[in-house]
Amino acid sequence: MASISLERVSKAYDRKQVLDDVSLDVAEGEFVAILGPSGCGKTTMLRLIAGFEQIDAGAIRFGRDVIAAPGRSVPPEKRNVGIVFQNYALWPHMSVAENVGYALKVAGVSSEMRRRRSVEALATVDMDRLADRSPADLSGGQRQRVALARCLAAAPSVMLLDEPLANLDVHLRASMEREFSEFHRRTGATMIYITHDQSEAMALADRIAVMDAGRIVQFATPRDLYREPESEMVARFIGNGLVLPVSDLREDTRSGRVEVDVFGRRHTVRARYGQPAAAAARLSVHPDDLLLAGDETSGFDAEVECIIYRGSHVEVHFHPRRAPDLSLSLHAPHDRVFEPGALISVRVGDGWVLPGAA
């Protein structure tokens, strides 16, 4: 397996900048997800790494080897990259085993070696018992396993996965997430996983690169992205995040945290070490961080807009009385009943001061 390094990579189509000075280092054997809204440049990055497109500026390295630079590009077939697409791309007239071994056949691998590597790859994804089946006889999840096995049989140094679960139903996605995690654990492959589904990225990746408008805006572990976003874009994008305006930020010397005024009530929240005092700031929270206050003195006043029953909890949508144009939500016990227009008291159980907004 190989490490992957993008060094100030840029790409434009018809003078529209799609990737803008992107740098990224993926360690050997690491599972990295590229996450972002549609049009942010995720798929273009994958195509540049695979060699399907030429970069305009910068360089891409596999280990120490430069495989792409302006005016120089190693052909895709010589990059030793395996790609798993969302549509599986299986040959319908071939058996499962023939699909897995096809790339090896094209590469001139002997029939005996081809058979052995195909069987080993299918066993890795628990599909060896179905080697003689036709792709038409397989479920969506089984087809995706065959696509993984085909990729694995070729022994690539890098594996690229382009939204591989997009065509599966929600229950099968959850099952395949476990399959991908186990696949990565067993193979130790260097993997880049392109997705717009943050739940997939959070569940699978060692680290996640969040992209916006052709740039990587934060590259961190799932936990750090959720708890300590660097910007308002990341805060809102990850985990249905909410951003609150707060004021009078002061250091809380007792806890090492900071105190802020949230709609007229003081709260203690988390902030970057050494965060200076500020007259105004922005606070990142999630619906689970907003709690119904036990008394009116500990929380800010709010008015219920509507409720949505979610089974395990009730999703309460409300607006602060001091900011009637700001719509927020929290999760309350499923047995709590609220009517639109009801007055509630809300406190912040946890929150993170956005570093650049104070």
Q: Quote the tokens at residue 283.
A: 């606070």
Instruction: Give the position of tokens 């992957």.
Output: 4
Residue 11 shares a structural domain with residue 140: yes
pLDDT at residue 253, as a whole number: 66
Residue 217 shares a structural domain with residue 295: no
pLDDT at residue 292, as a whole number: 93
Residue 313 shares a structural domain with residue 294: yes
Number of domains in the chain: 2
Is the CB of residue 291 less than 8 Å from the CB of residue 330? yes
Q: Of 176, 171, 208, which Cα lies nearest the Cα of 193?
A: 208
Residue 18 shares a structural domain with residue 166: yes
Q: Report the pLDDT averaged over residues 40-48.
A: 93
Is the CB of residue 182 less than 8 Å from the CB of residue 191? no
pLDDT per residue over 235-286, tens digit each?
999 988 999 999 999 987 667 799 999 999 999 999 998 888 999 999 999 9
Decide which of 179 and 133 is more confident: 133
Q: Is 3's pLDDT higher than 90?
A: yes
Q: Report the pLDDT averaged over residues 38-55.
A: 93
Sequence-ordered alpha helix ranges (H) in 125-164: 140-153
Q: Of 298, 292, 289, 300, which Cα lies nearest the Cα of 351?
A: 289
Q: Domain of 292: which CATH number?
A: 2.40.50.140
**CB count, 10 Å around CB of 72?**
11
Instruction: Give the position of tokens 């305009």.
Output: 56
Q: Which amino acid does the sequence have at 28? A: E
For residue 168, list its beta bridge partners: none
3-state secondary structure of 243: strand
Q: Of 218, 152, 158, 235, which Cα lies nearest the Cα of 192?
A: 158
Q: Domain of 174: which CATH number?
A: 3.40.50.300
pLDDT at residue 7, as a whole number: 97
pLDDT at residue 235, as a whole number: 95
Residue 39: what are its φ and ψ, rounded to 5°?
A: 85, 5
Enclosing domain of residue 63? 4-232
pTM for this predicted structure: 0.86
Average pLDDT, the chain: 89
Q: What percent of the chain has pLDDT over 90?
A: 55
pLDDT per residue over 348-358, tens digit each?
999 999 997 66
Q: In what order do the strands lie in the sheet with 300-309?
A: 290-292, 343-348, 300-309, 313-320, 328-333
- Distance between CA atoms of 194 and 340, rounded to whole angstroms? 40
pLDDT at residue 358, as a whole number: 60
pLDDT per residue over 301-340, tens digit each?
999 999 999 888 899 999 999 999 999 999 998 888 889 9
- Distance between CA atoms of 176 and 337, rounded to whole angstroms? 37
Residue 120 shares a structural domain with residue 171: yes
Residue 181 shares a structural domain with residue 279: no
Q: 7-21, 85-99, 280-294: which has the minimum mean pLDDT?
A: 85-99
What is the end-to-end Cα distance of the chain in Å, rounded?
43
Most confident of 108-112, 117-121, 241-245: 241-245
Q: Quote the tokens at residue 338.
A: 């609220």
Q: Report the pLDDT averaged over residues 101-125.
A: 82
Q: Please say which residue of 232, 260, 283 terminates a domain.
A: 232
Residue 246 shares a structural domain with residue 226: no
Residue 226 shares a structural domain with residue 274: no
Q: Is 57's pLDDT higher than 80?
A: yes
pLDDT at residue 217, as a whole number: 96
Q: Report the pLDDT averaged over residues 61-83.
A: 91
Q: Is 156's pLDDT higher than 90?
A: no
3-state secondary structure of 300: strand
Residue 37 shares a structural domain with residue 185: yes
pLDDT at residue 179, as a whole number: 75
Give 119's pLDDT tier (boundaries 50, 70, 90): confident
For residue 212, list its beta bridge partners: 215
- Distance between CA atoms of 31 and 10, rounded to whole angstroms? 23
Q: Is 139's pLDDT higher than 90?
A: no
Residue 46 shares a structural domain with residue 65: yes
Q: Report the pLDDT averaged over residues 59-73.
A: 93
pLDDT at residue 218, as a whole number: 97
- Distance between CA atoms of 6 and 4, rounded to whole angstroms? 7
Q: Is 101's pLDDT higher than 80?
A: yes
The Cβ-side half-sphere exposure at 229, using a 13 Å CA radius, reads: 25
3-state secondary structure of 240: helix
- Distance between CA atoms of 203 and 181, rounded to whole angstroms? 9
pLDDT at residue 357, as a whole number: 66
Q: Please say which residue of 232, 258, 273 terminates a domain.
A: 232
pLDDT at residue 296, as a whole number: 67
- Distance between CA atoms of 57 and 227, rounded to whole angstroms? 34
Q: Please say which residue of 203, 232, 261 terminates a domain.
A: 232
pLDDT at residue 225, as a whole number: 96
Residue 193 shares a structural domain with residue 295: no
Q: Quote the tokens at residue 12.
A: 């434009």
Is the CB of residue 41 less than 8 Å from the CB of residue 13? no
- Distance between CA atoms of 214 and 34, rounded to whole angstroms? 12
- Distance between CA atoms of 109 and 354, rounded to whole angstroms? 55
Residue 210 shares a structural domain with residue 289: no
Q: Quote the tokens at residue 183.
A: 């696949």
